[in-house]
Amino acid sequence: MVMEGYIFDEDEDEEPEQNQKFHIRKPVKPYICSTPGDFSEERDFLLENVFPKLREICKLRGGYFSPVDIRWENDDEQVVNGHLLKLLLDYICNCCPYFICLLGETYGPYRSLDAPKLPKRFKINEDADWLDKNYLIAASAGYDWVLQEGHQNTSLTELEIIQAAFLNNTKHCHFYYRQPEHLNYKYGHLPSEEKEKLSQIHLPDSEYADLNIRDLKQRIVNKGIPVRFFKTLEELGNYVMKDWSGIIENVFPFLEYPIEVLDQEEYRDWAANEIFAEVRRQVFITSPATKTAMEKMTEFALTALDEPSYEPEEELSKLRTHTLTKMLKKKYEYKDLQFINVIR
C-alpha cells in the first residue's frame, strides 16, 4: 500500500498568513470509483498514461497529484469479513472534494430484492451474507444511512456515489459515462459469438440493475455535476486530462517564487518542520476533564443502544455526522485490497 503525500484537514480556501515565506500545498487526491470488474482497462489507462502527466503539472506548481485507486475481488478477506464498504466510504470522505467516477451499463453488487430487511439494531453473525456484513459494519461505523429502507438494495457502487456526490462536497466531482458503442471499438473485429461472450461483463445482470444504473445516471445529471461521455480510452484520457489539469491550475496558482526554491535546503528544512508540526496539531491531547466527558458520552451512547429502536426521518439522518468515538471502533489491517496510489 503506497500512501505518499500529505493530507491536511483544514479548509482548502483558508487564507495563509501573509508574513509566511513558504506555504504547504495540499495534494489533489481524487478517489477513483467505478463498478468492479468492467473498468480495469480504463483505470489502468488512466494510471499509466494520464495521471503521470497530471502529477508533473502539480509538481511545477509546488503540489502533487495523488489519486486513490482501490481495487478488490469478492474473495478478499476484508470483503468477506464485511469491512470493504466502510473502508471505501472512509476514503471517499478523506479524499473529498475530489472524486472521479466511471460508469457504464453495469450497476455493481447489491443485496437481493428478496433478502430480509436489515435491522437497525443488530449483532453480526459470522455466517451472514458478505453484503449484509458490509452494510451492517458500515452502519455501525457511522454510515447509518446505508440501512435506510431505500438503500438496502442499493449497489455498493451507488453507495459510494451517494457519499461522494449527494452527501459530501461536490466541488471537484467529475463523472465519465462510457457509451454502449465502446463494445464495437473493443470487439467489433471478433466473430459474433466471441463478441457476445466478452461483452457480458459490461452488461447489466438483471432488469433491476439496468433500471437502477439508468436512474442513477439521470440523478447525477439532474444534480448538475459535470458529466462527460466517451467511447474509447483515448477519449476518456483527453477528458480527464482537460478536466483535472483545470482543477490543478485552479487549486495550485503559480508559485510566487521560482520552482528551483523547492529543491533548496532552506525550503526542505522548513517543509519538514511544517509537516511535523501539522502532524502534532492533528493529535488530540486528553485532559482529566475531556476524559471524563468522553466517558460520559460513551456511556450514554451505549445505553442508547438498549432503548427501543425508532425510524428517523431520512432527511435528518443525512445530516448526521459520520464519525463515532474511537472507543466504539475496532481497527483492522487491510492486507488483501489493492491500493494503487499514483506517486512514484
Q: 258-284: per-residue pLDDT in tens? A: 565 566 566 566 566 666 666 666 666
Taken in order 91, 94, 100, 103, is the CA torsion positive or negative? positive
Cell (9 digits) for 239:
477528458
More confident residue, 126 or 230: 230
Which residues, 6+ apart, have CB-to-CB distance to 101 below 8 Å? 33, 34, 160, 161, 164, 165, 173, 174, 175, 176
Residue 236 pLDDT: 98
Q: How far is CA 330 from the centre of its chain?
A: 21
Number of C-beta neighbours around residue 7 at 10 A:
13
Stretch among 81-95, 112-126, 306-320 having the lowest mean pLDDT: 306-320
Cell (9 digits) for 273:
518542520
Query: For residues 338 and 311, is the Cβ–Cβ distance under 8 A?
Result: no
The mean of the pLDDT values for the chain is 80
Q: Where are the domains of the chain?
A: 31-252+306-341
If we measure between CA atoms, which residue out of 167, 170, 194 comes closest to residue 183?
194
Query: For residues 327 and 298, is the Cβ–Cβ distance under 8 A?
Result: yes
Q: Is the pLDDT of residue 176 over 80?
A: yes
Q: Is the pLDDT of residue 136 over 70?
A: yes
Which residues, 6+ apart, have CB-to-CB distance to 271 below 8 Å? 22, 24
Q: Find the helix packing angle between 233-251 and 51-60, rounded to 10°.
A: 20
Number of C-beta neighbours around residue 110 at 10 A:
21
Instruction: Give the global pTM.
Output: 0.75
Strands (E), 125-247: 172-178, 227-230
Query: For residues 99 and 92, is the Cβ–Cβ distance under 8 A?
Result: yes
Q: What digits encode the pLDDT tens for the residues 307-320? A: 554 444 444 344 33
CA distance 78 to 134: 9
Q: What digits encode the pLDDT tens for the residues 179-218? A: 999 988 888 888 888 888 888 899 999 999 999 999 999 9
Pairing of strands 172-178, 68-71: unpaired
Q: Is the pLDDT of residue 230 over 90?
A: yes
> For the residues 46-74, what does the mean pLDDT come to?
92
**By percentage, how much of the chain surpasses pLDDT 90?**
50
**What one-character DSSP code corresponds to residue 28?**
B
